[in-house]
Amino acid sequence: MFGIGMPELLIILVVALIVVGPRKLPDLARSLGKGMQEFRKATDEIKNELTGNETFQEFQEVHTTVKETVAAMKPQNLLDTDSLLEPKKPKEDHSGREKVLKEITKAASQEEQEEQPVPDDQAGSHPPESDSQTTQRDAKASSDDA
């Protein structure tokens, strides 16, 4: 009841018997029982009045909403100290590095091909054309098209 065990209850009854006396003890117990019954009735009335009140019902709805929100946030994870003590290793993503390496090797191979001198046998027997020869050839081609 109130954290009172059987030995404590017996001691209280013995003290009450000595103080009040055997003749008045039943009357005292009866009046104490009636007082407890009245107290319970009064608390039940207050509870019923509060639960019937609209403000109390709204308060209960807010209370349940707050509980659901807190449960959805999982506050246990916020207080988890293991994740704070052990740093996480970043994931290594080499896909970007491989793409850049391919581009660099491609550009380097193109530069090497441009720098290599052309052998005489591949160059052919024709000497390189001058700008005036190129212009004359282009003019002749355009007049043939017309």
pLDDT at site 128: 56
**Residue 13 resides in a domain:** no
Is 30 within a domain? Answer: yes
The residue ranges of the chain whose pLDDT is under 70 are 1-2, 77-88, 117-146
Q: Let me know if residue 145 belongs to a domain.
A: no
The domain in which residue 35 lies consists of 21-75
Is the CB of residue 16 less than 8 Å from the CB of residue 25?
Answer: yes
Specify the pTM: 0.33
Where helices occur in the chain by DSSP H, the ranges are 6-20, 25-52, 54-73, 75-78, 82-85, 95-115, 120-123, 131-145
Tell me how crowded residue 10 is: count the other CB atoms within 10 A of its CB.
10
Give domain status of residue 11, yes or no: no
Q: What is the pLDDT of residue 38?
A: 96
* 144 inside domain: no
- Residue entry with tokens 């019902």: 57
